[in-house]
Structure 1
Amino acid sequence: MNNEVKEFTVKNTLPTSAIGKEVSNGNPLVSHKFGADPYALVFENRVYLYMTADQLEYDGEGNVVDNTYGSINKLSVISSADLMNWTDHGFIHAAGPDGAAKWAMQSWAPAVTHKKINGEDKFFLYFANNASGIGVLTSDSPLGPWVDPIGRALIDRTDKEAEGVTWLFDPAVLVDDDGKGYLYYGGGVPDGQDEMPNTSRVIELGEDMISLVGDPAIIPAPFMFENAGINRLNGKYYYTYCSNFFNGDRPEGSPPAGEIAYMVSDTPMGPWRYMGTILKNPGHFFGIGGNNHHVIFEFHNQLYIAYHAQTLAKSMNIANGYRSTHLNYVYINEDGTIEEIVADYKGVSQIHALNPYKRVEAETIGWQAGVTTEPLSPNEMAMNSLANRVLSELHDGDWGAISQVDFGSDGARNFKVSVLPGTVEGYIELRLNSPEGVLIGQLVIPAQGDSQLNGYVEFAQTVTDAIGTQDLYLVFKGATDRELFKIDYWRFEK
């Protein structure tokens, strides 16, 4: 369908303001939902981030209360090819009666890896059932469907692998160059053992990645608290963790409270040498503290650290333990030490511009104001697969933006978008570089009743002045008290 630009017949309100992730900033990565305890998987030129799915909790009067973590049984997943525009893949229903692992009550702090077994790609997701066990899910894709291959915890509180571990959680996983896998886990502080809790472990995984080999080894991490991390860098093994919050005297050279510290070894199971700290507590950078959780990964020959902070919650005035994921750079010195990391709202640079001439999922967002996403298919939970999602809750003045869209020197002439019309007529304004920037096209989305439309329909609109690399804004207009429509995908034509 083709629509011509026409004057609005509804109130032309000012665009909604962005909250949390402000325009031009990269952090937090997304602002329409929370996501904590990030873990990264790099596969086929995309970074997938798997996170604890923090969700707001309320009291009987509807007030937001502190995050208890007790009701979290899903994992949140986003991905990006450019590290600025992130696609929301929704949630993995990991635990609970509707989850893949029905024996588990919660799903916290995932760790994900990829390994070829018998020539086929296999994906393994390890998660914490609160602090009482480590579960494992498997898939043939980074996006599922996910299944529980063993029907129980990989490591349970009653197993010998849990002896001496206060908190049986926060896994990390490494597949070494020889194909052997290793699982890192544990945390907590026994009474009187703040300086050397000895609650962190590493154990070899079986060839199938869902069984254990031998006995675990203790990682003697000073002032250990939680959050295992593991990387093989320049032939050395780097174990990273969050230090505890002991407020007494610490020996010189010990990690301060709530910081990311690291140790180095020549083998994946130790012995380990303590090196120092690399990332201060989020409170140092953002004015609001809390626990500190991270993962280090390599993408296009650059090291990054993903970590969480309560920046989105702070901007919403609900800083009650609800966390969001951020990205910053990591640099290794010639002597193998890690430079201290500076966390900030700016984040990292976009790796490359986005190609608008391929299908772009509408749930791919650089910045946004007032929008969210939901599953295209209502049976996402039953499939336990990260099904396609759509951009939703689109009201008058809301908008979504994509950073650095490369229209090329010849520019675009046409825009196509798949939309589920609502019960009232709405509009999509295509603007450059701001919600009130140059208008390159305007689509009219008729109401379902007026057009007798059924399901998602692809609309088309000619555009002008879409040349070069620009930020693209989709601004939504219509009746102020109604959800206007939902968007599945869009693309431009040259």
Structure 2
Amino acid sequence: MNRLILSLLFACSTFLGAQAQNPIIKHIFTADPSPIVHKGTVYLYTSHDTASVKDTNYKMPDWHVFSSTDMVNWKDHGALLSPKTFSWAEGDAYAAQCIERDGKFYWFVSTFHKKDANSNGGAAIGVAVSDNPTGPFKDAIGKALITNEMTKDMPHAWDDIDPTVMIDDDGQAYMYWGNGSLKWAKLKKNMIELDGPITAFKPKNFIEGPWIYKRKNLYYLVYASAGTKPEMIEYCTAPTATGPWTYRGIIQENVPNSFTTHPGILDYKGKSYFFYHNGVLPTGGSYRRSICVDYMYYNEDGTIKPIVQTSAGVAAVK
């Protein structure tokens, strides 16, 4: 009888474990998901939380890359980039996004700038480059692409974070970023120089973590909102990459056990996926976060249906 009970308990635990895919990365704490597809494989670029349970602030030493061909099994390629890669940088490895262009992979990262001849410090955005999605990556320009001195619309020193990048159908690249206000600028085709002025504006309730993309004839600006704490995910749409932006509402409510969340959106093998982070792993929390993924659905008019957060996550694809 005892053996039968143990067998039943094992079968139940195995079944429940198979159903609980989220979080998708369980062996380390990860946040700020940035997915891309390259040659049929999903590559997921993440930040990495290493704060202790007692810490009351972030400790984020590096950025990781994971890959999958079925959206369920994820391979950790390791810590492929850190602020130490950049001679001008110091501090933590905040949200970042990688994008491919002309056979090269450009990893736009947010960290802090050392006080030197080029900057008085504060948040900054750099660019690393590689010939492969899993590196090796190196500093693409030997200096920061964005320093705190280049944006003056916000009084705090940490407003130049969380870059998101898209390449439009005509080949023009854009970068959006910010905390407190949203900044955007065009990028030259080489992806390492600005191609015009920086413009700042504030979508409704915007706080940080923007994600820019185009689907059919609509441009989407998805972001973490400051209407309440903890953060939620809200979005706008526009007919062009530069607006005018129409506010569309909340698509993701608060996540469990974390006061931040961060969107990453991907279409893969006929389905749309919404990546985010929460704090539900054992000993997890706001400074020990974990990436999850759930399905994303659109209405006929292109608006986004509310994201349903699940522990089951998504099914494996062929």
TM interval, shorter chain, is 0.7 to 0.9
For the structure 1 residues 67 and 85, does the alpha-carbon distance in structure 2 shift closer, same or farther, using more than 3 Å as the test? farther
5+ residue gaps, structure 1, are 1-13, 58-63, 189-198, 248-256, 353-494
For the structure 1 residues 261 and 132, does the alpha-carbon distance in structure 2 shift closer, same or farther, using more than 3 Å as the test? same
Match runs of 1:8-407 below 5 Å: 22-57=17-52, 64-66=53-55, 68-69=57-58, 71-96=59-84, 100-105=85-90, 106-116=92-102, 121-130=103-112, 132-159=123-150, 162-165=151-154, 166=156, 167-188=159-180, 199-244=181-226, 246=228, 258-283=231-256, 288-312=257-281, 316-319=282-285, 321-352=287-318
Question: For each residue in 1:383-408, what CA deviation from the matched residue of structure 2 results, as whole angstroms up to 9, or x when unmatched?
Answer: xxxxxxxxxxxxxxxxxxxxxxxxxx
For the structure 1 residues 289 and 183, does the alpha-carbon distance in structure 2 shift closer, same or farther, using more than 3 Å as the test? same
Counterpart-to-counterpart distance in 1, 2:171 and 2:30: 30
Count of residue pairs the alignment pairs up? 295
Counterpart-to-counterpart distance in 1, 2:13 and 2:140: 42
When the two chains are superposed, the root-mean-square deviation of aligned CA atoms in Å is 2.2
Counterpart-to-counterpart distance in 1, 2:202 and 2:246: 9
For the structure 1 residues 103 and 22, does the alpha-carbon distance in structure 2 shift closer, same or farther, using more than 3 Å as the test? farther
5+ residue gaps, structure 2, are 1-8, 113-121
Question: For each residue in 1:365-388, what CA deviation from the matched residue of structure 2 results, as whole angstroms up to 9, or x when unmatched?
Answer: xxxxxxxxxxxxxxxxxxxxxxxx
What amino acid is the match of 1:154? L
Give the match's secondary structure for 1:23: helix
Q: Per-residue deviation at 1:18?
A: 8.6
Counterpart-to-counterpart distance in 2, 1:128 and 1:351: 32
Counterpart-to-counterpart distance in 1, 2:203 and 2:261: 16
Counterpart-to-counterpart distance in 1, 2:56 and 2:66: 22
Match runs of 1:469-480 below 5 Å: none
Q: Per-residue deviation at 1:55?
A: 1.3
Give the match's secondary structure for 2:303: coil
What amino acid is the match of 1:169? I
Counterpart-to-counterpart distance in 2, 1:109 and 1:77: 13
What amino acid is the match of 2:149? T
Contact 1:225 1:243 in 2 (8 A): yes
* Runs of 4+ with deviation above 4 angstroms: none
Q: Identity rate of aligned residues, in percent?
A: 33
Q: Per-residue deviation at 1:179?
A: 1.6
For the structure 1 residues 108 and 101, does the alpha-carbon distance in structure 2 shift closer, same or farther, using more than 3 Å as the test? same
Counterpart-to-counterpart distance in 2, 1:39 and 1:226: 15
For the structure 1 residues 234 and 67, does the alpha-carbon distance in structure 2 shift closer, same or farther, using more than 3 Å as the test? farther
Q: Per-residue deviation at 1:318?
A: 4.7
Q: Per-residue deviation at 1:187?
A: 1.2
What amino acid is the match of 1:148? D
Counterpart-to-counterpart distance in 1, 2:70 and 2:269: 10
Q: Per-residue deviation at 1:163?
A: 2.0
For the structure 1 residues 66 and 49, does the alpha-carbon distance in structure 2 shift closer, same or farther, using more than 3 Å as the test? same
Counterpart-to-counterpart distance in 2, 1:42 and 1:300: 10
Give the match's secondary structure for 1:153: coil
Contact 1:128 1:168 in 2 (8 A): yes
Counterpart-to-counterpart distance in 2, 1:22 and 1:28: 11
TM-score (ref. length: structure 2): 0.87
TM-score (ref. length: structure 1): 0.57
Contact 1:275 1:337 in 2 (8 A): yes
Q: Per-residue deviation at 1:137?
A: 0.4
